[in-house]
Structure 1
Amino acid sequence: MSDYQPQLRTVSVMRYITPLREGGSMPALAEADDDFTYVLKFRGAGQGLKALIAELIGGEIARLLGLKMPEIVFATLDEAFGRTEGDEEIQDLLKASEGLNLAVHYLQGSITFDPTVTMVPALLASQIVWLDCLLMNVDRTARNTNMLLWHKELWLIDHGACLYFHHSWQNWEEQATRPFTLVKDHVLLAQASELETVDAAFKQVLTEDRIRTITALIPDEWLTTTESPFETAAAHREAYTHFLITRLAHTANLVKAAQDARKALI
């Protein structure tokens, strides 16, 4: 974890393979110019650039903390890419996503995590619950775990639903201090018996400098849209940084809420 140096590669999308329609934002399998296959997340999809920003921040924080996370890359989509696509809905999505998108390495042969089949150790479960409380991740439930088993290891995927405060930015500084009440629905909550241990360890790793290193990865063009409530990309980026730093200062609230929810569960 101490050697973490985030630096995202940029690839060009060469071939659209197939949509993954189980995702509300219609991600797709695509092949890039490095000959790897990726799960491509589109800037023109329903949640737009906010989902890509959440994916980037959430995924890179997970990686920093030592959790298994497929490589994230920037993926450029040429303006002519969607012209040969027969499906009009997909063609519209491709046209709306010209430019810089986000993609995650496709874990070929992976299977969806099933909590009724696989028991996750208490420490790992606590680490994932802690992360999702920090990020306000509403999308790690039994209904949709967003975890895969690959080579007998548990991998985290799809952090696009994290940081949901940024869809309106209302009272965002106050929200940074609040516990994550939806942790009661977390698929790993029952196994998360080591939250205090994880809290102490992860706060040593997730320093302000490292948070700034991660938020610095957000491209300026994703922060200067007409929807942005901030005047500059720097101010917008600083808001994300400030939110995470403030949230880290109040993790005692997050841990207590998760522990209370766990007691009610078991």
Structure 2
Amino acid sequence: MDTTFQNLHLRTVNVMRYVMPLREGGSLPALAEADDGFDYVLKFRGAGQREKALISELMGGEIARMLGLKVPELVFAYLDEAFGRSEGDEEIQDLLKGSQGLNLGLHFLSKALTFDPGASKVNGLLASKIVWLDSFITNVDRTFRNTNMLIWKRELWLIDHGAAFLFHHSWDNWERHATGPFPSIKDHVLLPYADRLEEVNREFREKLKMDQVYTLIEALPDDWLLASRDVETAEEARSVYKQFLSLRLEYSDVFVKDAQDARQTLI
């Protein structure tokens, strides 16, 4: 069994200390210290798109890792009901109260720099891999305005996949999203460099193993899946995610062609 598959077994840590808010976007993530001695960027179930953002973050990040892309370690982060009672900021205190239980943490990459598309270049192969990933998971949030990539130890790391899986905000049309193009790829920050999409498509169709993806989906907490009340049971939600990703891979030629067409308008 390869190490990628083994990495699907996420650790669970207990949040011990709220260090500081990271006021980026509307999700109000925070830097927090856990009981394993490490710092994490904490994504709260009580913020923004709530549990759906955590589901997207977890699935998007781990699928990226399966494909060999660099993503900070993801952990389940448990927030005790007593946590944050002494927090003076009412907005943050409300957020913490609404986030009791399992949240999601990304290992904090100390001294990492935000990727600047004007100052850093990405080779065509890596750019194509990232564009393919974001088309596959329908991630709208890797643009010039918000690249959601870091440079750490001279390597490119992907963060923030909470805006992926657009279909789960409207479950009725998930099949159309699964088999169709991804028009938002035209705004992708790396699209101009993604000149090896056909090659990457062949590689990733072989590399991405659906049994590993299904194991990941099984790891999604029931209460995250049921929080929005879009489905009757957690298993129903898992079934839709499995079907969506299976079809998405089967129809990858569609979104690759869409990305290639969008790229032609930029070069």
Give the residue type in structure 2 aligned to 1:205: K
TM-score (norm: length of structure 2): 0.97
Give the residue type in structure 2 aligned to 1:208: M
**Post-superposition offset of 1:77:** 0.4
Q: In the TM superposition, what whole-angstrom CA distance separates every residue of 1:44-88 from its partner, at most 9, and x where no partner exists?
A: 001000000000000000000000000000000011111100000
**Post-superposition offset of 1:224:** 2.2
Query: 2:74, 2:25 → 1: CA distance?
Result: 18
TM-score (norm: length of structure 1): 0.98
Matched, 1:3 2:3: yes
Change beyond 3 A, Cα 1:228–1:206 = farther
What residue is the counterpart of 1:185 in the other structure?
A: 187
What residue is the counterpart of 1:111 in the other structure?
A: 113
DSSP-derived class of the 2:14 partner:
strand
Percent of paired sites with the same residue: 62
Query: 1:12, 1:207 → 2: CA distance?
Result: 31
Match of 2:82 among 80, 83, 95: 80
Does the 8 A contact of 1:75 with 1:102 survive in 2? yes
Give the residue type in structure 1 aligned to 2:265: A
Count of paired positions = 265
**Post-superposition offset of 1:229:** 2.2
Query: 2:69, 2:135 → 1: CA distance?
Result: 15
Query: 2:197, 2:62 → 1: CA distance?
Result: 21
What are the equivalent positions in structure 2 for 1:51-66 lying under 5 Å apart? 51-66=53-68
Matched, 1:152 2:161: no
DSSP-derived class of the 1:196 partner:
helix
**Post-superposition offset of 1:207:** 2.1
Q: In the TM superposition, what whole-angstrom CA distance separates every residue of 1:104-132 from its partner, at most 9, and x where no partner exists?
A: 00000000000111110100000000000
Give the residue type in structure 1 aligned to 2:234: A
Query: 2:176, 2:186 → 1: CA distance?
Result: 21
DSSP-derived class of the 2:171 partner:
coil
Q: In the TM superposition, what whole-angstrom CA distance separates every residue of 1:157-181 from its partner, at most 9, and x where no partner exists?
A: 0000000211121311121111111
DSSP-derived class of the 2:126 partner:
helix
Query: 2:107, 2:35 → 1: CA distance?
Result: 13
Does the 8 A contact of 1:2 with 1:205 survive in 2? no
DSSP-derived class of the 1:83 partner:
coil
Structure 2 gap ranges (5+): none
What residue is the counterpart of 1:265 in the other structure?
A: 266
Does the 8 A contact of 1:176 with 1:246 survive in 2? yes
Give the residue type in structure 1 aligned to 2:3: D
Matched, 1:240 2:241: yes
Give RMSD over aligned pairs. 1.0
Q: Following TM superposition, where does structure 1 have runs of at least 4 consecutive aligned residues deviating by more than 2 angstroms?
A: none
DSSP-derived class of the 1:75 partner:
strand
**Post-superposition offset of 1:2:** 4.1
What residue is the counterpart of 2:255 in the other structure?
A: 254
Give the residue type in structure 2 aligned to 1:114: D
Matched, 1:47 2:40: no
**Post-superposition offset of 1:214:** 1.4
DSSP-derived class of the 2:172 partner:
coil
Query: 2:48, 2:75 → 1: CA distance?
Result: 20
Query: 2:205, 2:85 → 1: CA distance?
Result: 48
Does the 8 A contact of 1:133 with 1:183 survive in 2? yes
Give the residue type in structure 2 aligned to 1:87: D
